[in-house]
Every structure is written in C-alpha cells, then in structure tokens.
Amino acid sequence: MTRFTPLFLAALVMLSSPALPNDGQITLVVGFAAGGTSSTAARIVAEAAEQIARTSTIVENRPGAGGAIAADWVLRQKGTQTLLFMSSTSSLRTSPQSELVPIGILATFSYVAVARKDAAAQLAEYMREASREEKYRTVATAGAGSIPHLIGTTLFNDYGVPMVHVPYQGSAPAILSVLGGHVAVAIVPFPDFLPFQDSLHVLAQTGSGIETEGWVGIFAPPGTSAEEVSRLSEIFRQASQRSQEKLQNVGFKQVWRSGAEARAMHEKDYTRWTPILKVLGIQP
C-alpha cells in the first residue's frame, strides 16, 4: 500500500486550491454601511475566501444610493479582476444589463415586517387598525427605493391602506425607531432583525405575506476573463460552503448558485420591482 507523508498531502491540497497570485488581494466592495446584511455576509465569506485563495481578502464599504455608488465604482475598474462587487437584492438600482459579470449567489435570506408586541399580532388585523388610524401606517426601512420600501408599498397597497414611508440610513435605526415608538412598523432583512427578535413580533415574512426572497452575491468588473470568472467562482463556491454554519447563525440560508443563475435572479427581481420604483418617482 502506498503511503503519503503529511507534507505530500499538503502539497496536493495547495495544488488543487484555486489560488490567486501572491499580489492578487481580493477586495469585496459593499454598497451599504458596515453592520448591514450585505456587509455581515461579506465579512463571513471573506474570511473563508482568504484561506482558500491564500491571499488577503478585505471588505470595503461604499454606501449610498441603494448600492449604486459601489456598483458604479466597480464598473469603472475594468481589468481589476480581484476588486469585486458584493451585491444584494437591495442593489436593484443597478441594471442586470450593466457590464458587471456575475460570479455567483452565496446566500439567501427572508424579509420581515415587524411591530411592537403591543400591536395586533396578525397582519390582517393590523391592517384593519391601520385603515382606521394613521399612526399604524408609518413604516421604517433602510432607505427610499430599497427592497423593504417596495415590499412595504406592495403590502399596504394589497390591503388598500396608504403607507407613510420613513427612510433611515440602515436597518438597525429603522428597528430602533419601532422600539422607541417613533414609527409603527419596520421592514428589514431577517439577519438584521435577529438580534431584536425578543423585543418585537413578526407581522409578515418571506413565505407568509411577503413573496420575495433576498440574496447576496458576487459580481466582477467588466472585461473579467472567462478563466478568472471560473477561478473566482470556485473560490467563492468553496467559501460559501465553508461558511454555512456562520451564515446560518446570523440568519442567512447558505446556498451556491452559479453566475448564470445569479444573472437570472437579478433580471427577475429587476423586472418585478422597477415598475414600482417608477410609480414612486424613483429613478431605477
């Protein structure tokens, strides 16, 4: 029987890993503030990607305009193959027809509409109260044009109740505004709500009152070669799988979906939500 030394086995692992050149630092550019859904997932996956690619992997936050500032920055970096855009459903102000190259989807998550525990427990009952009293119509989200904003608009419209939107700079302040009694409802990604689940109750969530599911994924700059796309795809596929437990612990569902699947999901969501953006007078 052939026996292999630990050193030989380690060499095999090194050869089979999709490593980047020593100077190929990976930068994940996130379009939202540190501590938010995209940023949390980015930091978890970056740690695993660093081990797999054997190069430093950092997360850079460039918040603003619903993720569009970060997306536009990466779009201008043609040829910088290790500067990547960490996108999410909330980045739908960026068209799927842009030149960004999809690498893959890393994880999915639910959206939730939450209220104080002294509010009506059931969505239908809550909406009946909202139809009678304006104070129940105030809805906090992480910003105008964000997916939670569009979810809230759709949710209230389905019950024929006008919504009063109150935008904040992130999910955490939106949730805190509900806890403080300043607004009635917050609509946020479940990972952002998780630390507050003992203080608020859920009126609606993905699969029960809210139809859409959130996702986070990786996109590369224009002109990224097919070879590099394949290499990055393998790095982040492995990173996503290695991060399964950590992602689940903070409210994500670990998945891996290919670049082609990522483009299809982006196109589907963009087609669905863009008409509502236009009705609200927000430029997609």
Tokens for 133, please give them.
């009293």
Task: Tell me what percent of the residues of the chain surpass a pLDDT of 90.
Answer: 56
In this prediction, residues 226-244 reach a mean pLDDT of 95
Helices (H), 168-225: 171-179, 190-193
pLDDT in tens, 124-134: 999 999 999 99
Residue 6: its pLDDT value, please?
A: 41
Residue 282: its pLDDT value, please?
A: 80
Tracing tokens 């203080």 back to the chain, one arrives at: 199
Residue 90: its pLDDT value, please?
A: 57
Counting Cβ atoms within 10 Å, is residue 97 exposed (0-12), middle (13-18) or buried (19+)?
exposed
- pLDDT at residue 272 is higher than 70: yes
Closest C-alpha among 97, 108, 103 to residue 85: 103
pLDDT in tens, 135-182: 999 999 988 888 899 999 999 999 999 999 999 878 889 999 999 999
- In one-letter notation, the amino acid at residue 146 is S
Tracing tokens 């955490």 back to the chain, one arrives at: 172
Residue 7: its pLDDT value, please?
A: 40
- In one-letter notation, the amino acid at residue 29 is V
Lowest mean pLDDT among 61-65, 180-184, 250-254: 61-65
Let me know the angle formed at the C-alpha of 280 by 278 and 283, rounded to the nearest 5 degrees.
Answer: 45
In this prediction, residues 106-116 reach a mean pLDDT of 96
Tokens for 208, please give them.
């029960």
Q: Give CA–CA dist 69/179, Å, rounded.
A: 30
- pLDDT at residue 13 is higher than 80: no
Residue 9: its pLDDT value, please?
A: 37
Residue 192: its pLDDT value, please?
A: 93
Q: Give CA–CA dist 113/141, Å, rounded.
A: 10
Residue 8: its pLDDT value, please?
A: 37
Show the domains of the chain with their CATH numbers: 23-109+214-279 (3.40.190.150), 111-210 (3.40.190.10)
In this prediction, residues 170-196 reach a mean pLDDT of 94
| Cβ contact 106:138 at 8 Å | no
